[in-house]
Amino acid sequence: MSVLLKEMPYYACWFARCKLLGQRRPLQSVIFITDRCNLKCKHCNVVMEGPYASTMTYDEVRGHLQFSYDAGSRIVDFEGGEPQLWRDRVKGADLNSLIDLAREIGFFSTTVTTNAQQPITARSDLVWVSIDGLEAEHDYQRGPGTFSKAMRHIDEATHPNMNVNMTVTAHNWRDFTGVAKLVRDHPKLKRLSFSFYVPYEDRGLVVPAEVRAEITATAGALKQAGYPIMNSQAGMKLMRDPKSFADKRACWISNFVRSDGTRVMHCPGQDAGVCDECGFGMGPEMSLLFRLHPEMVLAGLKVRG
């Protein structure tokens, strides 16, 4: 029996409980295991430094994983800061120890998002590498030399399910097609997902409405032409205007744990008051998933393969 066939009864049951009984159970957990990072990207709202930086211990992560699993979640994304930097030296544990732990607890799937400034060694089911433009733009956003280092580590990695996430900003949007080509033509990369910059603090990188429309249209046409773009056509239409699906948002499908241990049962963007300017590709996709949109369901199944 295929892995997905084994998981399907759980997903069906989750859907029935949430749709028919009105329960609000997460399916995916995003755990910020550290807010330390080896970069200081211009668009990033996460990284803290000095005394404000926190990192979870192995036992703390275990507690948050168990809590999330008991709440209903079966997919976990290890986030940061830079998750590949995470260590618990007392326990002798690294990121792969957390991935193993999540599997032991019963999570169906594990994901890591990385800046790839170190070799990609995560054994998660899926790896997202952040590439925010071709060399000049990526380096502008993330720092000199970061593009070539990330590409070298992608070239050297042996992970079978490596993907790219691009955060589109007012500065780098002209590189979108170039990044799509890079992903299409790279033998080790499977697909590209993109989000628009979300203005938690700085408004300087906010993507104007007309550029959002242009990028989603370009992405739609590239996808139609066979480029491996993960965002669904229906999701990209909604991404044009985050207000367009305000009454259908299902951002509770992911629960979040901040690196200081704070648990939030919905996207933290809600508390920051940025929903009407949300750019996360996942936002529309979750709302489509909850409406059982066939394209979204299919995309969800494919990304696991």
Ligand X SMILES: C[S@@+](CC[C@H](N)C(=O)[O-])C[C@H]1O[C@@H](n2cnc3c(N)ncnc32)[C@H](O)[C@@H]1O
Instruction: Decide: is 113 part of the binding site for ligand X (CB under 6 A).
Output: yes
* Alpha-carbon dihedral 14, 19, 24, 29, rounded to 10 degrees: 50
Phi/psi-derived region of residue 22, left when phi > 0, alpha when psi is between -120 and 50, beta in every other case? left
Q: Taking CB under 6 A as the rule, does residue 80 contact ligand X?
A: yes
Amino acid type, 160 = P
Binding-site partner at residue 284 among ligand X, ligand SF4, none, CB < 5 to 8 Å by type:
none
Q: Examine residue 138 and tell whether it contacts ligand X (CB under 6 A).
A: no
> CB under 5 to 8 A by kind: which of ligand X, ligand SF4, none does 40 bind?
ligand SF4
The yes or no reply on residue 83 touching ligand SF4 (CB under 6 A) is: no
According to DSSP, residue 119 is labeled -
Span from 20-28, 35-43, 92-100, 229-237 in contact with ligand SF4 (CB under 6 A): 35-43
284 binds ligand X (CB under 6 A): no
Provide CB contacts within 8 A for 229, sequence distance 6+.
180, 191, 192, 193, 194, 219, 222, 223
- Residue closest to ligand X when measured from CB atoms: 130
Return the residue of 11, 39, 94, 275 that touches ligand SF4, per CB under 6 A: 39
Q: Which single residue is written with the structure tokens 């009454």? A: 247
The CA-to-CA distance between both ends of the chain, in Å, stands at: 14
Stretch near ligand SF4 under the rule CB under 6 A, chosen from 17-25, 34-42, 103-111, 241-249: 34-42
Query: Given the DSSP bridges, would you call strands 109-114 and 75-79 parallel, antiparallel or unpaired?
Result: parallel
CA dihedral 48, 54, 60, 65 (to 10 degrees): 0
Nearest to ligand SF4 of 59, 202 (CB atom):
202
- Contacting residues toward ligand SF4, per CB under 6 A: 37, 39-41, 44, 46-47, 80-82, 115, 142
Q: Which residues bind ligand X (CB under 6 A)?
A: 37, 43-46, 79-80, 82, 113-115, 130, 165, 167, 195, 197-198, 200, 279
